């Protein structure tokens, strides 16, 4: 079977790959990239407090300066609320907001450049909890951290904002956190804390089942046509 014989279909393998990648992203809900998470499970992400993982896990502990540390996620939900909280390992029932809740619009990489630590907890084992509330309800990821003295940590290059990401402090936030978030390092739409009116638009959910079906059909076509070697 030559490529010429199926010139018309020659783009399918790469489309298949792209669609598969999108499906993976969609299935991911959100993934905590910075700091290192305790663990990620697509299926269990809705299980609090840590998306199906043991909140006491200390296999990777991130030192978190009081001056701040970045939080970077990849989100597949276009309208989301974020809670960034921490609890002491000795009292994991009680989470404390590190920053006010964040409203985020747009898809892809999302970076909060400088999330302050809790000075009273310096030297104590703690757990960071990132909660996303979006079309799938609440989703959770945690990281093992320890607050340390010091100025804000530098922000790694992979903590960044996608081109369509806009974020702001939730105007309806009524919690105790008062420290504003620092500017995000790189974004094409302005700092993460840029002002943006509370979104009154309805959620724009991506439809995973439909996308999944599309991917399946395209990938089946791909394998039937045996074109996997042509890209
Ligand atoms: Cu999701």
Ligand 1 centre distance from Cα of residue 164 (Å): 18
**With bands split at pLDDT 50, 70 and 90, how would you rate the model's confidence at 181?**
low
What mean pLDDT is predicted for residues 113-124?
A: 96
State the chain's maximal CA–CA distance in angstroms: 70
At 74 the three-state DSSP class reads: strand
Q: Is residue 230 part of a domain?
A: no
Instruction: Tell me how far the alpha carbon of residue 187 is from its chain's centroid.
Output: 16
Residue 231 within a domain: no
Helix H or strand E segment including 21: helix 12-27
| 28 Cα–ligand 1 center, Å | 6
- Residue 138 Cα to ligand 1 midpoint, Å, equals 9
Q: What is the pLDDT of residues 142-165, one digit of tens each?
A: 999 999 999 999 999 999 999 999
Q: Does residue 83 sit within a domain?
A: yes
Q: Is the pLDDT of residue 122 over 60?
A: yes
**Is 158 a domain residue?**
yes
As a whole number, mean pLDDT of residues 20-29 equals 57
CA distance 36 to 47: 19
The count of C-alpha atoms lying within 13 angstroms of the C-alpha of 192, restricted to the half-sphere facing its C-beta, is 28
Give the residue among 99, 122, 133, 125 at the shortest CA–CA distance from 203.
133
How many structural domains does the chain have? 1
**How far does the centroid of ligand 1 lie from the alpha carbon of residue 136, in Å?**
5
Residue 200 lies in a domain: yes
- Can you give the pLDDT at residue 9? 46
The pLDDT of residue 178: 79
Please report which confidence band the pLDDT of residue 182 belongs to, taking 50, 70 and 90 as the band edges: low
pLDDT at 208 > cutoff 50: no
For the chain, helix, strand, coil in percent to 5 are 20, 30, 50
Secondary structure (3-state) at 92: strand
CA atoms within 13 A on the CB side of 28: 19
According to the model, what pLDDT value does residue 211 have?
A: 33
Q: State in Å: Cα 23 to ligand 1 middle.
A: 11
Condensed to tens digits (0 to 9), the pLDDT of residues 210-223 reads 333 333 333 333 33
More confident residue, 173 or 14: 173
Q: 51 is in which domain, residue-wise?
A: 4-225
Residue 80 lies in a domain: yes
Stretch among 93-107, 129-143, 146-160, 176-190 having the lowest mean pLDDT: 176-190
Q: Average pLDDT, stretch 16-27?
A: 50
Q: Does residue 194 sit within a domain?
A: yes
Ligand 1 centre distance from Cα of residue 123 (Å): 35
DSSP tag of 154: P
Residues around ion ligand 1, judged by CB within 5 A, are 29, 136
How confident is the model over 190-204, as a mean pLDDT? 33
Is 163 among the domain residues?
A: yes
pTM: 0.70
CATH number, domain of 46, equals 2.70.50
The pLDDT confidence band at residue 205, using thresholds 50, 70 and 90, is very low
Q: Is beta strand 102-105 parallel, antiparallel or unpaired with respect to 166-169?
A: antiparallel
Q: What is the dihedral of CA 53, 59, 64, 70, to 10 degrees?
A: -60
Distance from residue 130's CA to the centre of ligand 1 (Å): 15
């Amino acid at each position: 079977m030559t490529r010429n014989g199926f010139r018309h279909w020659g783009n399918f393998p790469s489309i298949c790959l792209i669609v598969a990648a999108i499906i993976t992203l969609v299935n991911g809900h959100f993934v905590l990239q910075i700091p290192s998470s305790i663990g990620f499970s697509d299926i269990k992400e809705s299980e609090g407090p840590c998306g199906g993982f043991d909140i006491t896990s200390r296999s990777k502990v991130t030192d978190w300066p009081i001056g701040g540390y970045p939080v970077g996620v990849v989100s597949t939900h276009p309208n989301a609320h974020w809670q960034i909280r921490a609890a002491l390992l000795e009292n994991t029932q009680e989470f404390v907001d590190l920053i006010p809740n964040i409203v985020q619009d747009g898809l892809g990489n999302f970076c909060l450049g400088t999330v302050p630590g809790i000075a009273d907890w310096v030297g104590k084992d703690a757990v960071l909890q990132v909660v996303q509330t979006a079309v799938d309800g609440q989703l959770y990821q945690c990281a093992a951290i320890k607050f340390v003295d010091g100025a804000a940590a530098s922000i790694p290059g992979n903590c960044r904002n996608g081109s369509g990401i806009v974020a702001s402090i939730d105007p309806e936030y009524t919690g105790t956190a008062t420290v504003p978030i620092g500017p995000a390092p790189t974004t094409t739409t302005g700092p993460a804390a840029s002002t943006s009116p509370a979104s009154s638009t309805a959620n724009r959910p991506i439809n995973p089942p439909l996308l999944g079906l599309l991917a399946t059909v395209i990938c089946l076509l791909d394998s039937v046509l045996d074109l996997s070697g042509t890209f």
